[in-house]
Structure 1
C-alpha cells in the first residue's frame, strides 16, 4: 500500500490435475558418523533438485509468521472538491459522527492533511479499516464540502495467504469465481512466480476481511473444489533502502550528508576516470 497522495504499500508482491506437495528438503538426517556421505547424482537430477530447493526457499520466505505483529493500515485518501477551512479535529469528529449514525460503527482513527490539502485517514483497527473499503458507505460531504475517496490499490499482506499445491495448469480466474461462492471476502488470486518468470504450484489469495484469513490460517487448509489444499500466511519481501552515495543502509540517498564513495571499491576518490582499485563487496 515521494508524496503521500500516491501512497502504495511498501511491499509489492514478487509476482507478476493435482500436484504432489512440495517436499521440505531441509529435514534432518540421522548419521552414525561425522563424515558426510558422498552422493552420486546425475546432472539432470541435480538441476531439478536445485530448482525445487529454490522453490522451497521462495515459498518459505513468503510465509513467515506475522500473526503477532500489529497491522500497519495504509491511509485512505480523501480529496476535497472545494475549499475546506475546518480543522483536522472538526473533520475527524464529523466523519466519526456520520459513520456512527449511518452504519452503527464506532471508528478508531487518526487523520492529518496530505498533498494538496487532501485528508489522510488512518484506521487503528481492522473493523474501521474494512468498513472504509466500501466506497458506498462514505458520506458525500465532510464539514459541508463535497469529497472524493481514493480507492486503495493494495491491502496489507496480512489480508493475503498462500494456497499451496495449486496446479500450474489451473486458470486462476475460473477458480476465483468458484471459490468466491464459499469464501465471500476473497477478491483476487495471483499466481506466484520466481524472477525468471517460471510459475510455481502456489497462488496468493487476497481477502478484504482479516477474520476470514485468520480462520483459514488457523485451520491450515482451504477447500478448492472437492480437494483440500494447505495454506500459509503471506509475508511479502521487505524492501531495504540503500544509500547510493555512502553505500549505507540506514538512510536514503537524498538525506545523505556523507562523502560520496566509489560503488566498486567503497573508497572516496574521483570517479572521472573510473576505478583503478580491486572490486570490494559493498
Structure 2
C-alpha cells in the first residue's frame, strides 16, 4: 500500500476530496481516506493525572514511581504504583489502562469531529 500525505489550508478542499473518495496523481487514481494522527493526552508531570497540564496543577508533587508524596531523589526504592490505576507500573507509563481509555475517548471524539466536518 502506498501512502501519500497531503496538507491543505482549506477545510473545504478536504471535504470535497473526502466526498469524491479518490484523487488522480501522476495518472494514478488513489483512494482518499482521512488520517487521524496519534492521540496524545495531557499528562501532568507533577501529580501524573491526565486531565490537566503541569503548569495548571495545584496538587502536591508526587513520585512517578510509587505515587507517594515524599522528597524526590534520584531513585525511589518503593514499589511501583500508578497514581491513576493503582497497578504495578510508573504513573507516566503509556500502558496504563486509564491512559489508554482516555486516549480511546479522545480518538472517538476526534473521529466524530472529523466525520461531522466532512459531511
TM-score where L is the length of structure 1: 0.27
Higher relative contact order (CA 8 A, sep 6+): 1
Q: Which of 212, 219, 226 matches 2:20?
A: 219
Match of 2:47, SS state, is coil
Q: Which has the higher strand share?
A: 1
Query: What is aligned with 2:77?
Result: 276
* Gaps in structure 1 of 5+ consecutive residues: 1-20, 22-164, 166-201
- How many residues align? The count is 83
1:254: Cα distance to partner?
1.7
Q: C-alpha separation between the residues in 2 aligned to 1:269 and 1:248? A: 17
Q: 1:272 to 1:236 in 2, by over 3 A?
A: closer
Q: C-alpha separation between the residues in 1 aligned to 2:54 and 2:61? A: 10
1:13-47 Cα offsets, whole Å, 9 max, x none, are xxxxxxxx3xxxxxxxxxxxxxxxxxxxxxxxxxx
Query: What is aligned with 1:239?
Result: 40
Question: Displaced runs of 4+ in structure 1, greater than 4 A?
Answer: none
Q: C-alpha separation between the residues in 2 aligned to 1:264 and 1:234? A: 35
Query: What is aligned with 1:209?
Result: 10
Q: 1:251 to 1:220 in 2, by over 3 A?
A: same
Q: C-alpha separation between the residues in 2 aligned to 1:272 and 1:234? A: 42
User: What aligned pairs does 1:108-127 form with structure 2 within 5 A after superposition?
Assistant: none
Q: 1:232 to 1:268 in 2, by over 3 A?
A: same
User: What aligned pairs does 1:38-49 form with structure 2 within 5 A after superposition?
Assistant: none
Query: Quick check: which has more Rg, 1 or 2?
Result: 1
